[in-house]
Structure formats: C-alpha cells, structure tokens
Amino acid sequence: MADAALPVIVLSDPDPIRRHETAELVQSWYRTSFRVLQVGGPAETVRALKALADRKVPVAAVLADEAPEPGGAHPGVRWLPLARRSDDASAAGEHPAEHLRVALDDSLCTWNADSRGDLPTAEVRGSRFSPAAYAVRDFLGRSGVIFRWLPEEDARDAPVTVRLGDGTELTDPSISELAERLGLIRPAGQDHYDVAVIGGGPGGLSAAVYAAAEGMSVVVIEDDAPGGQAGSTSRIENYLGFPVGLTGGDLAQRALQQARRARVEWQPTRVASRVAPTGTGDHSVEFVKAGTEEASSVTAAAVVVATGVDWNRLTAPGVDRLLNSGVYYGSCLSDAPSTAGEDVYMVGAGNSAGQAALYFARYARSVTLLVRGTDLGASMSSYLVQRIERTPGLRVLLGTEVAECLGGDTLTGLRLRERDGGERTVGAHCLYVLIGGRPSTEWLGGALKLDERGYVLTGSGGAGPEALPMETSVPGVFAVGDVRSGSVKRVGAAVGEGAAVAQSLVEYRRRHPDRFRDARAACGF
C-alpha cells in the first residue's frame, strides 16, 4: 500500500524536536499500517483534520495534549493524551512516548474493528499465568502485531483464545498457525536459494540484507519472531545512529522491513533442525513448523548460521514447574503494564537485567533485582547502575540467589538464600530470569566444530588456514553474531558481522559460480 493511502495517526505537539522524536517512534511501531502526520498545535490539528476529512483520508487516532474540538473536525476521531517527558522520566532515560504503545494498540484495535477491519490485529484472552497465553503475547508483541490483552481469572490451563481482526476465533493456536493466519508468513517461494540464513536476530537479518544487496537470493529461517535477543529489549542505547536509543522491537521491525524490501524471503516460526551437505556442493537445511511435527527443507549454495544465544537456565526447585506461570526467561515487555500493584523479582546482573528492571519499575509496585555477586557494577554498565540507584521502587539484593520458587498453579513466593547461608521467604508475583546466555547450537547435532563452550568455530579455528572469514569447519557454511566463537555480544557487532560475511559469500560465489543459480535475484533497493 502506498504511504499516502495509509490511515493517519495525527501527532500534535508544539515542540518540534520532541514531536519529531515521538513521531519516529510511533511510526516505527506501525510502519506498515499507519502514516504519522505531525502538526504543531491545537489550531493546526483542527485544520489538518478538516483537510483529511475533505480528502476522505481515515484518521485512526489523534495524539495531543488537548482533545480536538468536539465534532469540529473529523467524525468519530479518537483522541489519546500525549505523554509528556517529566523530569523523572527523563532522569530514568525513558522515552517520552514509549508508554503510549499499550494505549495506542488498544485504541487502534477498536478503530480497526469499527472501521476498516483489514489490519492484522488480535485480541488475546486467557489466564495471565497460562504458559500458552504468554507464548502468544510474546510472539505477537515481537512480530509488531497490534493486539489487545484481556487477562482472565481462569486456571493456568484454561484455553487461550485469539480473536483476529476479521472475527476469526482461534483456540490454543500454535505460533506458526498465528503467523500464517495473520499473514506474517508466506509459503516458501522456492526450494533452492543462494543463501539460507538461520536465525532472524540482528546478525541474521544483517547478513540477509547485505547478501541480497550482492544479488543473491536469500531465505531467513527463524524459529520465532524477528529481532532475536535484541527484539525483546526495552531500549538499545549504544547502536550507532540512534542518539536517544531505540527499542529492540523498533530495530527488529526496521530490519525486517529492510530485508523484505531487499526481496529476502522471511520464514518465521520455522525451527531449523539440521544442516548437511547434499553431495553436490549445496547444503540442505531442514526445519519444522514451530509447535508441530511438520517438516520441510530447502537447499542453498551457502548457509549462514546466526542462531545467537539462549538464556541460561535456573536450577532451583519449582522453576521448571512454574515456567511461564509466573517464572519467565527473558522479559516479555508487553507484560509490564499488567504487573501494576505487584511485586516483581528479577535474577541477573547484566545490562539486560538492568534494562528490564528499569522498565518494569515503571509499572510494578516493587521490582527487586537479585544478584549473586556483591558488586552490581562488576557486570552492569555504570549508567544503568546509576539509574537503578535513582529509581524509586527498585531495589537490589546483592549476594542473594533463588533457593526455591513457591506456589501451586502460579508463582506466589520465593525462598531466597543469602551468601552467609541465611534464608527467608518473600511473596512474589513474577520472577524474570536474565542470567546470560548459552549458544543455540545443540540443534546442529555436531555438524560444525564448536569451541569448548559450545560456540561455533570459524576462520582458521574452523576449516583451517584456507577458510574464508567467518567460514565454519564446513566449507560454504558461515556463522555470525553471538553464536560465533569469540564474538562480541553486542547488537552493533552482530550487524557488523552480518555485513562482513556478505564479502565472504561474494568470494565463495566467485570460487563456485555454478552453485549460485540465482544471479537473476533482484534486490529491491
């Protein structure tokens, strides 16, 4: 759809810098569905609404500090108060418009149902402590789908229902079914590609975009939603070119949009299970639909493994039983508003734990960060440590670990153990575990050489001195990002490796031109 044909979200703010910043963020959430129109204040809002009504352009919402004149402009216009940057928010490094997301999602769902009904939206009902409901919400949020979450007081195994924008109701859908029904996935267009990238985090999407720009046909096989670990973070502050930072979801959606523009084929909710040489110089990549046993495969001249890292597991009793029913690995940001009035615990001492704690502290009654060591600054950037110290309702318990998770169907408390062996029990509604990662390489089943910690060896450590940069022990199979042995665990580093591996792919194609059958692949740039 051409931008001009998209329905409009009017953003009214007399401060041009703040307005531009907020517009960029809101646009990034709804890039493919809405156009953000910036106006300078109440009078200009009225004029803009009249002009849009004359041109019959639908207006989905008006974001402004003051409500537009009643009935004066656009019929049935929905107004949402624009969040102001308070001193507190600014000190905590919050974005002025970040918390608008939940309110806007809700309002846009209603608008879509009342008017157009053609956007991929969803309404999710289920128990807040249902693991299945958590998986659905996490997937929708990270896929950029506008959705409304309606928690119910049911038992955790009550069915999860998802009502789509067109009225279809799905009960206990798998994420692959959701992806298909919401149009997020299309059947693979071909069975052979120049490059198959496994993993749609920053490293994989970067490799895909740069390889496509070199005229290669590319498929990305991702087991979940775009963005990888970065996709779940509330704020990335050190990524070049975004001086006020950006959310992981924003980065993921931007990267995916760029990949699609470059004609990369995007296959989410597909779990790679095997990479093997075909015997003709190509490689076969096997994968299954997430949540099903349905298997498929593609072949490719070259493969880029970008499967990153997964969370380390907590071994305390009760963790596995209460997983996704109060105990979570990582942090599902869309859950934060529903922790209002609750006591949230987090385990971890890295930047990811710090960022999540700051984000949840804006909603929960209290957030407690449990740190096994005695110095938070030893593993967390000092700017985060300082913000944590300044944030009311957020406390840090040093030298403390989880001895047991308590509760029947859902988490109700934690038994904490201190360094001196002392123990105490606290009431807790949720526990988020963010204790670093382990490489996602088990699925490779020994196909590639790994280092002693399970990361993929590349270059001279992989195939030997003849290997191309980032080539693994199997010629034609490359690895980038966090999964690669010796990698720097940063978004910028993963993106850089994705760009660099494209040069190895170009050299590999020069050596084996016959294997790259898709010279016709046209990049959309």
Q: Considering the rule CB under 6 A, would residue 491 count as an interface residue with ligand FAD?
A: yes
Residue 202 interacts with ligand FAD (CB under 6 A): yes or no: yes
Select the residue interacting with ligand FAD from 120, 199, 348, 496 (CB under 6 A).
199
Sort 46 into a burial class: Cβ within 10 Å, 0-12 / 13-18 / 19+: middle
Q: Output 132 or 384, the one with its CB closest to ligand FAD.
A: 384
How far apart are CB 469 and ligand FAD at their closest, in Å?
A: 16
Question: How far is Cα of residue 493 from the mean position of the Cα atoms in its chain?
Answer: 18
Residues 384 and 382: their CA atoms lie apart, in Å, by 5
Should residue 198 be labelled a site residue for ligand FAD when binding is judged by CB under 6 A?
yes
Instruction: By CB under 6 A, name the one of 44, 53, 492, 499 that touches ligand FAD.
Output: 492
Q: Which of 261, 338, 299, 286 is nearest to 444 (CA)?
A: 286
Q: Which stretch binds ligand FAD (CB under 6 A): 20-28, 84-92, 303-311, 400-408?
A: 303-311
Site for ligand FAD in 206-245 (CB under 6 A): 221-224, 228-230, 232-233, 236-238
The count of residues in the chain is 525
Q: Which is nearer to ligand FAD, 77 or 344 (CB)?
A: 344
272 binds ligand FAD per the rule CB under 6 A: yes
Q: How many CB atoms lie within 10 A of CB 401?
A: 16
Which is nearer to ligand FAD, 103 or 493 (by Cβ)?
493
Figure out which of the listed residues 440, 472, 485, 504 binds ligand FAD, where binding follows CB under 6 A: 440
Three-state DSSP state, 170? strand
Closest CA to 450 of 489, 493, 501, 484: 484
N-terminal to C-terminal alpha carbon distance within the chain: 17
Question: Residue 13 Cβ, how far from ligand FAD at the closest point, in Å?
Answer: 27
Identify the three-state secondary structure at position 243.
coil
Pick the closer one to ligand FAD by CB: 112 or 232: 232
Q: How many residues bind ligand FAD (CB under 6 A)?
A: 38
Is there a contact between 287 and 295 (Cβ–Cβ < 8 Å)? yes
Based on the shown chain and the rule CB under 6 A, indicate whether residue 308 belongs to the binding site for ligand FAD. yes
Question: Which span (71-79, 112-120, 351-359, 369-377) binds ligand FAD, by CB under 6 A?
Answer: 351-359
Residue 250 interacts with ligand FAD (CB under 6 A)?
A: no
Question: Considering beta carbons, is residue 440 or 485 the nearer one to ligand FAD?
Answer: 440
Between 99 and 489, name the residue whose CB sits nearer to ligand FAD.
489
- CB of 75 vs ligand FAD, minimal distance in Å: 43
Closest approach of Cβ 238 to ligand FAD, in Å? 5
Figure out which of the listed residues 7, 93, 141, 200 binds ligand FAD, where binding follows CB under 6 A.
200
CB 201 within 8 A of CB 308: yes
Among 116, 489, 512, 517, binds ligand FAD (CB under 6 A): 489
Give me the helix-helix angle, 16-29 and 100-114, nearest 10°.
60
Name, in order, each residue with C-beta under 8 angstroms of 443's C-beta and a sequence gap of 6 or more. 271, 272, 273, 274, 307
H or E stretch including 29? helix 16-29
> How many other C-beta atoms can be found within 10 angstroms of the C-beta atom of residue 460?
12
**What are the φ and ψ backbone dihedral angles of 479, each rounded to 5 degrees?**
-140, 140
Which among 346, 385, 93 has a CA at the least distance from the CA of 234?
Answer: 93
Q: Is 306 in the site for ligand FAD (CB under 6 A)?
A: yes
The distance of closest approach from Cβ of residue 520 to ligand FAD in the complex, given in angstroms and rounded to an integer, is 27
Q: 202-213 and 248-261 helices cross at what angle (nearest 10)? A: 20
Q: Which of 193, 248, 189 is nearest to 215 (CA)?
A: 193
State which of residues 140, 309, 347, 468 lies at the interface with ligand FAD (CB under 6 A).
309
The residues that touch ligand FAD, with contacts defined as CB under 6 A, are 198-204, 221-224, 228-230, 232-233, 236-238, 271-272, 306-309, 351-352, 355, 440, 443, 481-483, 489-492, 494
